[in-house]
Amino acid sequence: MLEKLDTQSPDALLALIKLHRDDQREDKIDLGVGVYRDEEGETPVFRSIKAAEAILHDKQDSKSYLGPEGDIGFVNALMPYVFGNADPTMGGRIAGMQTPGGTGAVRLAFALAQAAGAKSVVLGEPSWPNHRQIARDLGLEIISFEHAADASTTDFEALKTAIADAGEGDVLLLHGSSHNPTGIDYSLAQWQEIARLAQEKGLIPVLDIAYQGLGEGIEEDVAGARAFLAEVPEAMVTYSCDKNFGMYRDRVGAFYVLAADRDVLDKAMSNANSLARANWSMPPDHGGAAVRIVLRDTELTRRWKEELAAMRGRLRWIRDTLGKAGTAGSVDLTPLASHNGLFSMLPIGPESIEALRRDHAIYMAGSGRINIAGLNEGNIDRFIAALGDVTA
Ligand code: PMP
């Protein structure tokens, strides 16, 4: 029976990790893997999380089941960050649950939309590759459009055309901020315009927030999403704590529904619960519990914000340094200064990417995506020189 299966192509980034690991050159640079790196190239556990884990270790007295919704204390503690302090439930129109990472939340959002009748996902590409994979796995079509018009602006006309091509009830997937992989985000005015277009067409928006605090600031990074949510009757929000709390393998995410009224909200959440139950029964607890402890404790929250600000500041320094370099060979680096978050696309082809790896021990995805966090004071000049060398 199993011999009938086709072998799937391995994840290209995982292959890249192995190549990088086996490279003996001491000055090798990894711009491939999608995790934050500090100045030393490490991805350490946040000190605020370590402190929360110590509390959890001392105080947790049961590991009994919680239920498909996971740690509701975590889900509620996160809400003011996403939806604002003033009215985090938007008048009782929002409910949520914990999910296994942002991935679980995206899966749940797409599946719930499908259960409600969605046939397609409107998706700006390139995107996080799993958006397409999850949609395909569920049997949803993709209405793809170019996310970026050029190196620094979104292609708003392409988005409008794709919305026009969608059917009523289809999903509109939008990255909250720090777009993966282009780093190019919508302006506040565009968010409001998209809200109007989505509503006119009767689309169900899914706002995927995976990098809050890594772009311009904790509040700034959700300003567009909040402006959007203020305009629409219903939407879903998928949230990942895996970057902004450094939880990665602990798989910490949340899923929220905004509905027009309490009845619809209850109906949506009962469906989300039953989908979660059928998919993973309940999310892993540890990471969500640690984030809850951080967010409920004033001092730990202050430390978390400080750690996040340090990450954001370092990413900003890298972007400013690249921007100030101007050009490297044929590559204009100035747009990278205006991007947000971990990722940007370099407009270079496979030969240059291969030459960077072969001749300079610089590793990046075949798509041209770089994770700028792989750069630091010690290697950024060498990176710019190498890029100049392979594209001259
Ligand atoms: N959405 C986007 C845009 C992402 O880039 C990622 C992964 N980095 C996710 C969702 C999923 O995050 P997680 O690792 O929490 O599953």
Is the pTM for the entire model greater than 0.80?
yes
Write the burial class of residue 22 (CB in 10 Å: 0-12 exposed, 13-18 middle, 19+ buried): exposed
Task: State both tokens at 45.
Answer: 């556990």
Start-end ranges of CATH 3.40.640.10 in the chain? 65-296
* Pocket lining: 128 vs ligand 1, CB cutoff 6 Å: yes
- How far is the centre of ligand 1, averaged over its atoms, from the C-alpha of 318 (Å)? 22
Read out DSSP for 335-361? GGGG--SSEEE----HHHHHHHHHHH-
Residue 54, phi then psi, degrees to nearest 5: -65, -40
Q: Is 386 exposed, middle or buried (0-12, 13-18, 19+ CB in 10 A)?
A: buried
Q: Environment class of residue 119 by beta-carbon count within 10 Å: exposed (0-12), middle (13-18) or buried (19+)?
A: middle
List the chain pLDDT tens, one digit each, 392 residues.
999 999 988 888 888 989 999 999 999 999 998 999 999 999 999 999 999 999 999 999 999 999 999 999 999 999 999 999 999 999 999 999 999 999 999 999 999 999 999 999 999 999 999 999 999 999 999 999 999 999 999 999 999 999 999 999 999 999 999 999 999 999 999 999 999 999 999 999 999 999 999 999 999 999 999 999 999 999 999 999 999 999 999 999 999 999 999 999 999 999 999 999 999 999 999 999 999 999 999 999 999 999 999 999 999 999 999 999 999 999 999 999 999 999 999 999 999 999 999 999 999 999 999 999 999 999 999 999 999 999 99
Amino acid letter for position 256: Y
Does domain 11-45+301-391 bear CATH number 3.90.1150.10? yes
Give me the CATH code for the 65-296 domain, please. Answer: 3.40.640.10
Q: Is 243 a catalytic residue?
A: yes
Phi, psi angle pair for 276, to nearest 5°: -60, -45
For ligand 1, whether the C-beta of 175 sits within 6 Å is: yes
In the chain, ranges of CATH 3.90.1150.10 domains: 11-45+301-391
Strands (E) in the chain, as ranges, are 29-30, 94-100, 120-125, 141-146, 171-175, 204-209, 235-240, 252-258, 327-328, 331-332, 343-345, 362-363, 369-371
128 is catalytic: yes
Quote the tokens at residue 315.
Answer: 């990413």
275-281 long-range Cβ contacts below 8 angstroms, 24+ apart: 275/108, 275/111, 275/112, 275/115, 276/68, 276/69, 276/97, 276/99, 276/104, 276/108, 277/68, 279/104, 279/107, 279/108, 279/111, 280/100, 280/104, 281/68
What is the distance in A from the centroid of ligand 1 to the CA of 210? 6
Q: Does residue 371 have its Cβ closer than 6 Å to ligand 1?
A: no
Alpha carbons 215 and 93: distance in angstroms, whole number: 28
Q: Which two tokens stand for residue 19?
A: 């190549």
What is the distance between the alpha carbons of residues 178 and 160, in angstroms, rounded to a whole number? 21
Q: Among the atoms of ligand 1, which is closest to the Cα of residue 101? A: 15
Measured distance CA(308)–CA(313) in Å, rounded: 9
Of the candidates 238, 107, 109, 248, the one whose C-alpha atom is nearest the C-alpha of residue 175 is 238
- Residue closest by Cα to atom 2 of ligand 1: 210
In this prediction the ipTM stands at: 0.99
Strand partners, 208: 175, 238
Among 102, 308, 58, smallest CA distance to 206 is for 102
Phi and psi angles of residue 313, each rounded to the nearest 5 degrees, phi first: -65, -40
Catalytic residue among 30, 71, 185, 208: 208
